[in-house]
Chain A
Amino acid sequence: MTYYDLAAMLLNGFSHLYMYRQLSGYDRLSVPTMAGLSLLFTVFLGTIVSVTGYPELNGVLLLVFLLAVGLLKGGMPIIHNVLFALFSTAGMTLARLVGLETAMWLYMESPWNLYIWTPSVLHATVSVLILLAALAGRRQIALFGRYAVKGPVFIMSYVLLVPAYFALLLLTSPTSLMPASWYEQAATISYVAAFVLFFILMLVLLISWQVAKDRLADQNQQQLDEEMLAYINKLEKINDEFISFRHDYLNVLQTLDEGVRQKDLALIEDVYTKVVAPTSEQLKLREFDLLKLSNIHVPEVKSVIGVKVMSAYRQDLEVMIDIPEPVETVAMPLIDFVRVLTVLLDNAIEEAAESDGKQLQIAMFDTMEVQYVIIRNSCRDQSADVQRLFAKHVSDKAQGRGIGLFSVKRILDQTTNATLETTLADDLFNQQLLLKRKTNRS
């Protein structure tokens, strides 16, 4: 019996920590670390509570513990931290309360006998179920953590969680402070309130998750639309330029024609030096390079590269684009690819603009098995430590910009067929993304 209770307690501790990790996006906390931390904490808590005899310490210390983990992580506003900790503490305790009651009720309805160990087994079962639910919904929880901290959901969660937390404290504190009769009344109210709050909280969670998902999709779509529009505008401009160039060219030919017919060498020479020779400059017009993007048949990728190349032009970079053959698909999830590409291009452009070489090279092509994306840029410092660049807050750029490459790494960590090769040679910083295509190997 005690084993079941013990298992339930350990599982509860772990679930709280896990939930908190998902909410706050503290990915660096590995599962073994979490298991160790929660084990230690549960033992500590158990000792404290049994020694002092104040069960309400459970809730208080758990909250403090989670807040401390959040502080350890850093880089998070305190109100977010409090919300996440409250959510994990109150939300999960509520869930457990409701789960236990339901399980008990179901058991009573069943034909089985009630034994002395039944509540313990039920407790353990409910804990397992909650942990499984948290594991199954980990992506949703993380999404909620990321986007629910903005807007009305944020305030609503606070409004719900604070009373829920106090209701729970009240429920777990028979020993202290209040007179018994008053406590009984308060406990009944808290009990009902806890149930009601739990269901409202679930509702809020579901709704806000839906909203967050929609908003995220909208944002992506909007950004893509804008980039596509900018790209189309540029193409139209190129087209206009081309038409006017053709027009000029016909005029030049006519003038030359005149000169040739009259065998007037002076006129021909004049036309050549004044009109024809300068057009060679126009022919080298770098914007024509953008047309090379026509080989990319994935609109999202085309628009991202287009926009970035234009911004590189604005910063006076010499851009070389090499997309020799049509690119029909991307060998990894498109949204992730676009994010990775954006960060790599942003970094390359920023660094190239600071450097003397002012070079940016972009290549994308397929071989039999591998899709290559190569981004090169000239750079300032030969001795930049390539290994160090991927650390979370390290950046050779201005403060607070280090997140880029780290998030590239995080995305690629999830992409099993991706290999990223970073080299520094001949003053060129070189990022090579190799995406292995699925092939039918024997």
Chain B
Amino acid sequence: MTIFILEDNIHQAKQLESLVIEVCKEQQIAYDRLSVTSRSDELLNQLHITARIPIYFLDIELKGEERKGLEVAQEIRRHDAEGIIVFVTTHAELAPISYQYMVSALTFIDKGWPMEEQAVMVTKCLQHYAERNVTVRAADDFVVDNEQATVRIPFTELEFIMTDGPHRLSVTAGNRVVHYYGTLKEAEALDGRLLRCHQSYVVNTERIASYESADRVLTMKSGQQVPVSRRLVRKVLQRMKGAGS
């Protein structure tokens, strides 16, 4: 459990360091080491000695190189797929979207923000870091990864999957909809919590709120409704009862 800070401006590095120490003390977040450096190679050399999930605060513009921080992050990702990467930059509102995807960065912190706001962000990041280290759980996601598509949706959000044209599926989850190439049969087989309730629908049984037998409709926790076919009513009801007891 190491905290890394990569920052070439000594003043800002000190500031961030003291902020991190302060937050950790206040939130009672434990860490083995706090490594502050201005040189990327120094940081990269320490990667192998970290145990569990480290957190990295990386400055994006290093020594005038505009994208040095991203290169470092990519190098880190090559060795450490789990570590939490936070970019520190002078213009967070201009922070490229692509960074988040290319190295799955957690978030950005703007050096120009007022100190209180920066403190709030740092606290959030460190809390996330502490949480990840306590509950080392495998991510509980609905995952499709094949030649045609890569889809990843947490089961806590996934509501239902429906067919959407030949060989096309649409997944509804929280505030998003994902359209991808696949079949309901494959999707249903991915996890035991998924249940076929209709010719063209598969529901996440954990997100069912209620069932109205008059309309043969399932109401999900989000309020959306999913039809149940006559043929599959019995199976659905059995599953709901089974989950209740």
Contact = CB atoms under 8 A, between A and B. Distances in A.
Contacts of A326: none
A386 B177 contact: yes
Chain A binding surface, main DSSP class: strand
A167 interface: no
B148 A416 contact: yes
Nearest to B66: A324
A419 B96 contact: no
A363 B96 contact: yes
B97 A367 contact: no
A412 B167 contact: no
Contacts of B41: none
B181 A416 contact: yes
A372 B181 contact: no
Count class of interface residues, chain B: 20 to 34
B175 A419 contact: no
B179 interface: yes
Given A422-B176, A425-B175, A370 B181 contact: no
B149 A361 contact: no
B116 interface: no
Contact of B97 (A361, A390, A419, A424): A361
A372 B98 contact: yes
A400 B102 CA distance: 39
A221 to B, nearest CB: 30
B173 to A, nearest CB: 9
Count class of interface residues, chain A: 20 to 34
Nearest to A384: B175
A425 B173 CA distance: 13
A323 B67 CA distance: 13
Given A412-B179, A422-B177, A417 B101 contact: no
A238 interface: no
Nearest to B97: A363
B149 A423 contact: no
Contacts of A387: 170, 172, 177, 224
A372 B148 contact: no
Given A324-B67, A324-B96, A370 B176 contact: no
Interface string B217-231: 000000010000000
Contacts of B166: 413
Contacts of A365: 98, 101-102
B67 to A, nearest CB: 7
Interface in B153-173: 164-168, 170, 172
Chain B binding surface, main DSSP class: mixed
Given A320-B94, A438-B147, A419 B176 contact: no
Contacts of B168: 412-413
A80 interface: no
B180 interface: yes
Given A365-B102, A416-B148, A324 B175 contact: no
B227 to A, nearest CB: 14
Contacts of B70: 324
A298 B181 CA distance: 26
B150 interface: yes
Interface string A384-421: 00110010000000000000000001001100111111
Interface in B174-192: 175-181
Contacts of B101: 365, 367, 372, 374
A419 B102 contact: no
B98 A324 contact: yes
Contacts of B178: 419-422
A390 B177 CA distance: 10
A273 B84 CA distance: 44
Contacts of B164: 409, 413
Nearest to A320: B94
Contacts of A381: none
A422 B174 CA distance: 11
B120 interface: no
A422 B171 CA distance: 10
A436 B96 contact: no
B44 interface: no
A320 B148 CA distance: 29
Interface in B62-100: 67, 70, 94, 96-99
A240 interface: no
Given A365-B102, A387-B172, A417 B179 contact: no
A320 B95 CA distance: 9
A416 B167 contact: yes
CB-CB nearest 9 A-B residue pairs: A423-B176, A419-B180, A363-B97, A322-B96, A365-B98, A420-B179, A413-B165, A416-B181, A421-B178
Given A418-B181, A422-B176, 16 more contacts: A322-B98, A363-B97, A367-B101, A370-B150, A374-B101, A386-B176, A387-B170, A390-B170, A390-B177, A409-B164, A409-B165, A417-B148, A420-B179, A423-B175, A434-B150, A436-B148
7 contacts: A324-B70, A363-B96, A387-B170, A417-B149, A417-B181, A423-B175, A423-B177
